[in-house]
Structure 1
Amino acid sequence: MDAPPSAPAPGTTRGDPFSETLELTGVRCALSRGLTAAGAWALAFPAPGRLKIQAVLRGTVWLTVQGAGPPLRLEAGELAVLAGDRPYALASDPAVPAIDALPLLRASTAPFFHAGEAGRDIVTIGGHLELDTTAKDLLLGALPPVLHVGAGAAEAPTACWLMDQTLRELSSDRPGASFAADHLAPLLLVQVLRAFLTDAHACPCPTGWLRALADERIAPALHLMHGDPARPWTLAELARAVAMSRTSFAKRFKDVAGVPPLAYLRRWRMHRAEHALRRADTPLSVIASSLGYGSESAFSNAFKRTTGLSPRRYRETVRSA
């Protein structure tokens, strides 16, 4: 009998679901603003519609996200990551009535705006990360409404520095500032997602690839599928590779990933296909072969079932947009 497949060696990019998914995000910095405050204050913000990161550099800030539980206390050196689909408020105390933050934001284009009394008892930076359409489905759906990264987390100091540096770049007139900010954004995303994986068991989160990647029994199967997406994987092969019965493996995989193993593989192949169609003029036959489809027509049919568009039509649509 053939030996069970093994995952790629640690340190390789091939087969790393984390790195490969980040490659698909197309993440870039959309906006970064700082807030200084003192005294009693509270600001209400609409749903960002994008991945939102809030870092506290000085003082204490209370964050309330609509429908996401009690207010969250953020100390200096801590961050919160918001999936972006809910309104939220920042305050000196959750009991202070919040006023609309948008007039304050629109009143000035300066890097920092101010709330409350005179002084800088509070310094906090907020940033939005823009993601490609495919990545929104992959990433935002896998994150909880709000993720708290404590000051003790290994990733917190680096993430706070990246937030501060991004704001410095965007508020400067130095050559290449926007280019630098866009290249800091992926590093920031890496840090917050690493923090999520480190503390995934303590953080209630939706089913999805991130939760599956944090599951020590299921993660090796993700590495195998990502390492060789063209292979015609069977449920028996994957279960054997992680030393589980087919029934136990299938149930656990669906419980954490939200879909059965082979459905996950099909979906991942389509994400890779969308990425290839957006970014290069690679022939459809080459994309089909790289993803395990025996012919261009078989790939085209599978792609259209998933996206509603043929690969050629999809390529034309996203490029014209």
Structure 2
Amino acid sequence: MAAPLSAPPLGSPALRDPLTRTLELTGAHCALSRGLTAAGDWALAFPAPGRLGVQVVLQGVIWLVMQGIDHPVRLEEGDVTVFSGDRRYTLASDPAVPPIDALPLLQATTETFLHIGGEGRETVVIGGHIDLNTAGKDLLLTVLPPLIHASATTTEAATACWLMNQTLRESRSDAPGAAFAAQHLAQLLLVQVLRIFLTRVNAETHQTGWLRALADDRIAPALRLMHGSPALPWSLAQLARAAAMSRTSFTLRFKEVVGVPPLTYLRAWRMRLAQHTLWLEDTPVSAIASSLGYSSESAFSNAFKRSTGMAPRRYREAVRAS
């Protein structure tokens, strides 16, 4: 798997956007892109993919039935669905059609498109899976809801639809640079997936985490400070001031939205940055400690060991060996 882009210097413009910096830690790349053409009465049952999934309807109308979702979801041409990958689901011409197992059909062909069904107007669907590294799974799959549905009328869905189509074209192409293009299109697709989530998250969302915090107008300013300048000794008072809230109200709101108190989140974010640097770079541990605001290498090493169970140098050896 290709390594994510190396971290920009602390304080650079890229770090002012929490989403940009976090995406660099995920190692996202497209693991699979398959298509489906179907007509007549049909239904295919898929197991939980265990990966971030995206489906785009290029033509026709289909129904999505997902484990744990009360009602079938009608998907029209141009609609995009995103699912976190931990649930079984069925795609069908009608929810009443008994499904057949999709895996044997997919395994029986290497064609980019699977064909199923009888006569009638053809439906065309393309699907992709985005693989993430361990940090990416922890950062994203735990905060995304089981299913996100974006209508074709939205800008985010239209862009995701184009990206899926282009990724499919590049993955099938033997043109120079096709594999490189497909990989980076998948990273752009992930950005659109998260933007779709951010435009739909609301107070009724049961998920907690940093991604929901980005959509919260009160909490987002404090989150940008922590992500943008993690080395600074942020106090609860400073973060609350950025959110234009009292310390008590800010702490309660932050914990409700993110799931942990503000300074606990800040410590965890520093550790994520440290893990990323130890994996990809040969930066001395003392320099990492300083860049993340620790007064000494020993203070950083103790904090890192509490977080990961390993000393920084041992962690670097372990992740590189694996």
Shorter-chain TM range is: over 0.9
Q: Which residue of 2 aligns with 1:69?
A: 70
Shift of 1:173: 2.3
Alpha-carbon distance change, 102 to 120 in structure 1, aligned in 2, over 3 angstroms: farther
Determine the C-alpha separation between the residues in 1 that align with 2:150 and 2:13: 27
Q: Is 2:102 aligned against 1:101?
A: yes
The 5-angstrom pairing of residues 1-321 of structure 1 reads: 12-118=13-119, 121-201=122-202, 204-321=205-322
Partners of 2:242 and 2:180 lie apart in 1 by 43
Letter in 1 for 2:243: V
Cα deviation for residue 116 of structure 1 reads 1.2
Q: How far is the alpha carbon of 1:203 from its aligned partner?
A: 6.8
What are the Cα deviations for residues 18-54 of structure 1, in whole angstroms up to 9, with x where unaligned? 1111111110010000000001111111111110000
Amino acid in the other structure paired with 1:153 = T
Is the CA contact (8 Å cut-off) linking 1:15 and 1:225 kept in structure 2? no
Instruction: After TM superposition, give the deviation of residue 202 of structure 1 in Å.
Output: 7.4
Question: In structure 2, what is the Cα distance between the partners aligned to 1:304 and 1:221?
Answer: 27
CA contact (8 A) 1:205 1:211 kept: no
Which residue is equivalent to 1:8?
A: none
Q: Deviations over 1:69-113 (max 9, x none)?
A: 321111110110010111111111111111100111011111100
2:14 partner SS: coil
Distance 1:306 1:158 in 2: 38
**Counterparts of 1:57 and 1:144, CA distance in 2:** 24
Q: Which moved more, 1:110-119 or 1:93-102?
A: 110-119
Contact 2:40 2:121 in 1 (8 A): no
Cα distance, 1:15 vs structure 2: 2.0
CA contact (8 A) 1:217 1:242 kept: yes
Show the counterpart of 1:5: none
**Structure-1 separation of matches of 2:72 and 2:205:** 16
Conserved? CA contact 1:37–1:114, under 8 Å:
yes
Q: Aligned equivalents of 1:111 and 1:265: distance in 2?
A: 44
Structure 1 spans left out of the alignment, 5+ residues: 1-10
In 1, the alpha carbon distance for the partners of 2:121 and 2:25 equals 39
Of 274-283 and 31-40, the range deviating more from structure 2:
274-283
Closer, same or farther: CA 203–122 of 1 in aligned 2, 3 Å = farther
* Letter aligned with residue 256 of structure 2: D
Number of residue equivalences: 311
Deviation digits for residues 107-134 of structure 1 (CA, Å, limit 9, x no counterpart): 1111100121156611000000011101
3-state SS of paired residue (2:63): strand
Match of 1:90, SS state, is: strand
Change in Cα spacing, 1:109 to 1:205, as seen in structure 2 (3 Å) is farther
Pairwise CA distance, 1:320: 1.3
Paired with 1:16 and 1:205, the residues of 2 have a C-alpha distance of: 24
Moved over 6 A (4+): none
The question of whether the paired residues in 2 share the 8 Å contact of 1:83 and 1:146 is answered with yes
- Secondary structure of the corresponding residue to residue 14 of structure 1: helix
For 1:226 and 1:88, how far apart are their aligned partners in 2?
Answer: 36
Q: Determine the C-alpha separation between the residues in 2 that align with 1:291 and 1:284.
A: 11
Q: Deviations over 1:163-185 (max 9, x none)?
A: 01111111222232221111101
**Aligned mates of 2:171, 2:120 — CA distance in 1:** 24
- 1:297/1:269 Cα in 2 relative to 1: closer, same or farther (>3 Å)? same
CA distance in 1: counterparts of 2:146 and 2:159, whole angstroms = 22
Percent identity between the two aligned chains: 67
Quote the RMSD (CA, aligned, Å).
Answer: 1.5
> Deviations for 1:195-215, whole angstroms, at most 9, x for unmatched residues?
211121277341000111100
Looking at structure 2, the residues matched to 284 and 183 of structure 1 have their Cα atoms a distance apart, in angstroms, of 31
Q: Scaled by the length of structure 1, what TM-score is found?
A: 0.94
- Alpha-carbon distance in structure 2 between the residues aligned to 1:117 and 1:172: 29
Q: Give the aligned residue type for 2:318.
A: T
Distance 1:203 1:106, change over 3 A: farther
Contact persistence 1:143–1:205 (CA under 8 A): no
Residues 128 and 184 of structure 1: CA distance in aligned 2, closer, same or farther (over 3 Å): same
Distance 2:249 2:305 in 1: 32
Report how far residue 150 of structure 1 moved: 1.0
Contact 1:28 1:129 in 2 (8 A): yes
Shift of 1:192: 1.5
